[in-house]
């Protein structure tokens, strides 16, 4: 049992005041930071996975033939030919309006559609783009086959695997997720260290009582349950407080995040498994604290005859 | 829980054979201690300060293992006994400390009830024996008092009540009259004598030679510089009994 049941009369063997003084507050701060780091880690990991799966099987063919008519013909021909290949799931020509609208965001052009009234944007020679999604896992083989196809249908066109330019971003995000995970582990260890110090301090403070209990025949288990219960309750208070603050912060961030719709930000979310992990962490922390206290107390009591 | 076997008929309650005790690398504070304590007997342990009385008592109430030799308690070898079996033996021993060692945040009633609670006696079965014990030591009206509000003699009586409430087979008292006036000393000794008559083996460490003469049939052990100069049974005290 995480918090052992101890008869009321036995609980009085320890003074009523809290054992540990600042312990609940330190545990609260560590728990809050642990939850925030865990949330960041889960969000980043999901974002990295989303980006990774989105880019892994996609390439864009960029056709830069100078003659716009020929360029459009090559793009249409390539799209049809690619769509007929067994290794291609889908092939889509990117419309010129879509390209201008995307570029318009960077040029600061007003309106939508074809870049509004921006004459510079309208005068730009834009390449024809064909997005192609592969099927299956053999992506290097697919790219080799696609290059051959492109060489026939649109000579001179560039095949750009998305993994080439978004891969480093995904790797960076994945690294940040690992760092967040490492911080969770470190803060868990720090919490355990706080519990160990609290247990040892409690033993030192109450040594005369413990010695007397030993001499009248109390077992290590009886003594340990007394202290384990008190330490578990103290840490549970801290964990509850830290979790409440972390939940408030996460809800605030989530509310603000919901207004962000651009680019990679949309891939970051906790997902059901992430929320389950965040809900489970405080319970795991209480269990860890109780277990740590128990082992510390038993080890310390073994040094007394 | 008691996993200690009862003392076999005719067997010694405590047997020390060639026992030595040292703390760390220092010289032995007790050397070549050998004696037997018989069930139902009354013993005084005397000796000058520093002679090793408290160290000997510590081994008797299982707060210390010997550095060498054999210690048998209730018929079992305690030197090699695994630690987890010790609580069962400790519950058969009552200890009165010179400095009382009452738990300061507990009332007199709760201090006295401690051994019974540790032994797992239910609350419904506690109030009777604890109330009787409080009356026996004359503190029935001070049951809820904390130790700090009790006089030295009252604290000593609470400590004695705690030591005897579980009806121990062996009672060990370290200078139990050192902090009380002569009248109170005699009353406390009367409590020990009454308990001894009920079958408890009593060992009292004391400087007070007059105290020794007050208990009939008591036997004396004397420690001098860590050695037992007068093992149990070799000398009886008071001298009047020697005729």
Tell me the chain B residues in contact with residue A15 when contact means C-beta distances shorter than 8 Å.
105
Is the pLDDT at A234 greater than 50? The verdict is yes
Mean pLDDT of B41-60: 89
Can you give the pLDDT at residue A263? 56
Report the alpha-carbon distance of residue B203 to residue B21 in Å, rounded: 19
Can you give the pLDDT at residue A51? 75
Can you give the pLDDT at residue A17? 60
Hunting for tokens 């036997």 — which residue is that? B219
Report the alpha-carbon distance of residue B51 to residue A154 in Å, rounded: 107
Nearest residue to B132 via CA among B104, B111, B151, B112:
B112
Contact predicate B63/B101, CB 8 Å:
no
Confidence band of B66 (pLDDT split at 50, 70, 90)? very high
Is the pLDDT at A10 greater than 80? The verdict is no
**Furthest-apart CA pair in chain B: how many Å?**
52
Confidence band of B10 (pLDDT split at 50, 70, 90)? low
CA A42 to chain centre: 2
**Rounded alpha-carbon distances, angstroms, from residue A116 to A98, A101, A106, A125:** 12, 8, 13, 16
Looking at the complex, does the CB of residue A304 fall below 8 Å from at least one CB of chain B?
A: no
Report the alpha-carbon distance of residue A228 to residue A236 in Å, rounded: 12
8 Å CB contact of B90 and A214: yes
Query: Which positions in chain B have a beta carbon within 8 angstroms of at least one beta carbon in chain A?
Result: 1, 61-65, 83-84, 86-91, 95, 101, 103, 105-106, 110, 113-115, 117-119, 123, 162, 166
Is the pLDDT at A150 greater than 80? The verdict is yes
Tell me the chain B residues in contact with residue A7 when contact means C-beta distances shorter than 8 Å.
117, 123
* Structure-model confidence comparison of residues A19 and A55, the more confident one: A55
- Of B63, B114, B118, nearest to A305 by CB-CB distance is B63
Residue B137, classed as helix, strand or coil, is coil
Contact predicate B142/B173, CB 8 Å:
no
B180-200 confidence digits (pLDDT tens) = 778 878 878 888 888 898 889
pTM of the complete model beyond 0.80 = no
A43-75 confidence digits (pLDDT tens) = 888 887 777 776 778 889 999 888 888 888 989
Can you give the pLDDT at residue A246? 93
Confidence band of B142 (pLDDT split at 50, 70, 90)? very high
Report the alpha-carbon distance of residue A122 to residue A106 in Å, rounded: 14
Is the pLDDT at A116 greater than 70? The verdict is no
Is the pLDDT at A219 greater than 80? The verdict is yes
Is the pLDDT at B231 greater than 60? The verdict is no
Cβ-based neighbour number of residue B8 at 10 Å? 10
Tell me the sheet residues that pair with A132.
Answer: A59, A91
Contact predicate A74/A154, CB 8 Å:
yes
Mean pLDDT of A77-106: 86
Average pLDDT, chain A: 82
> Quick one: which H or E segment has residue B219?
strand B219-224
Confidence band of A16 (pLDDT split at 50, 70, 90)? low
- Of A15, A217, A302, nearest to B115 by CB-CB distance is A217
Mean pLDDT of B42-48: 89
Can you give the pLDDT at residue B171? 94
Is the pLDDT at B21 greater than 90? The verdict is yes
Q: Is the ipTM of this complex over 0.90?
A: no
Tell me the chain B residues in contact with residue A218 when contact means C-beta distances shorter than 8 Å.
87, 118
Closest CA in chain A for residue B111: A13
Binding-face residues of A in 142-201 toward B, CB within 8 A? none
Report the alpha-carbon distance of residue B132 to residue B142 in Å, rounded: 13
Confidence band of B102 (pLDDT split at 50, 70, 90)? very high
Is the pLDDT at B3 greater than 50? The verdict is no
Tell me the chain B residues in contact with residue A215 when contact means C-beta distances shorter than 8 Å.
61-63, 90, 95
Mean pLDDT of A240-249: 93
Is the pLDDT at B202 greater than 90? The verdict is yes
Residue B93, classed as helix, strand or coil, is strand
Report the alpha-carbon distance of residue A200 to residue A184 in Å, rounded: 24
Can you give the pLDDT at residue B98? 84
Is the pLDDT at A245 greater than 60? The verdict is yes
**Furthest-apart CA pair in chain A: how many Å?**
100
Mean pLDDT of B106-110: 93
CB pairs under 8 A between A and B: 61
Can you give the pLDDT at residue A249? 93
> Quick one: which H or E segment has residue A204?
helix A162-205
Average pLDDT, chain B: 84
């Amino acid at each position: 049992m995480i918090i052992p049941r101890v008869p009321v009369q036995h609980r009085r063997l320890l003074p009523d005041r809290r054992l540990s003084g600042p312990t609940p507050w330190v545990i609260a701060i560590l728990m809050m930071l642990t939850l925030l780091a865990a949330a960041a880690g889960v969000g980043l990991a999901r974002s990295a996975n989303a980006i990774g799966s989105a880019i892994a099987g996609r390439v864009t063919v960029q056709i830069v033939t100078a003659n716009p008519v020929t360029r459009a013909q090559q793009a249409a021909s390539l799209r049809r030919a690619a769509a007929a290949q067994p290794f291609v799931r889908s092939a889509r020509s990117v419309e010129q309006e879509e390209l201008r609208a995307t570029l318009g965001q960077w040029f600061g052009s007003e309106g939508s559609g074809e870049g509004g009234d921006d004459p510079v944007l309208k005068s730009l020679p834009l390449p024809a783009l064909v997005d192609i999604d592969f099927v299956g896992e053999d992506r290097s083989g697919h790219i080799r086959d696609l290059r051959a196809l492109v060489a026939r249908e649109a000579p001179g066109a560039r095949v750009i695997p998305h993994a080439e330019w978004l891969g480093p971003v995904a790797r960076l995000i994945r690294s940040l997720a690992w760092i967040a995970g490492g911080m969770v582990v470190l803060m868990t260890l720090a919490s355990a260290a706080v519990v160990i110090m609290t247990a040892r301090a409690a033993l030192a403070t109450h040594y005369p009582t413990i010695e007397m209990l030993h001499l009248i025949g109390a077992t290590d288990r009886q003594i340990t349950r007394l202290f384990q219960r008190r330490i578990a309750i103290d840490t549970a208070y801290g964990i509850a407080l830290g979790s409440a603050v972390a939940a408030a912060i996460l809800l605030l961030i989530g509310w603000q995040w919901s207004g962000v719709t651009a680019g990679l930000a949309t891939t970051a979310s906790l997902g059901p498994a992430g929320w389950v992990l965040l809900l489970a962490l405080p319970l795991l922390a209480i269990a860890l604290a109780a277990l740590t206290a128990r082992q510390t107390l038993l080890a310390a009591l073994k040094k007394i005859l | 829980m008691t996993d200690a076997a009862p003392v076999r008929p005719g067997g010694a309650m405590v047997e020390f054979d060639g026992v030595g005790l040292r703390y760390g690398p220092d010289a032995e504070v007790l050397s070549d201690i050998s004696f037997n304590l018989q069930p139902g007997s009354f013993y005084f342990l005397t000796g000058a300060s520093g002679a090793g009385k408290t160290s000997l008592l510590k081994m008797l109430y299982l707060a210390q293992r010997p550095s060498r030799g054999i210690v048998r308690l209730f018929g079992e070898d305690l030197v090699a006994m695994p630690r987890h079996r010790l609580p069962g033996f400790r519950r058969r021993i009552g200890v009165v400390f010179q400095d009382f060692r009452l738990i300061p945040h507990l009332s007199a009633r709760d201090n006295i009830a401690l051994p019974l609670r540790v032994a797992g006696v239910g609350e419904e079965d506690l109030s009777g024996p604890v109330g009787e014990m409080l009356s026996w030591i004359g503190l029935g009206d001070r049951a809820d008092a904390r130790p700090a509000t009790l006089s030295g003699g009252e604290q000593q009586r609470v400590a004695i009540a705690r030591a005897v409430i579980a009806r121990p087979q062996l009672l060990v008292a370290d200078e139990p009259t050192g902090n009380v006036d002569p009248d109170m000393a005699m009353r406390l000794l009367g409590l020990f004598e009454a308990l001894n008559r009920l079958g408890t083996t009593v060992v009292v460490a004391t400087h007070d030679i007059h105290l020794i003469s007050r208990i009939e049939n008591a036997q004396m052990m004397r420690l001098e510089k860590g050695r037992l100069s007068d093992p149990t049974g070799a000398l009886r005290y008071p001298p009047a009994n020697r005729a």
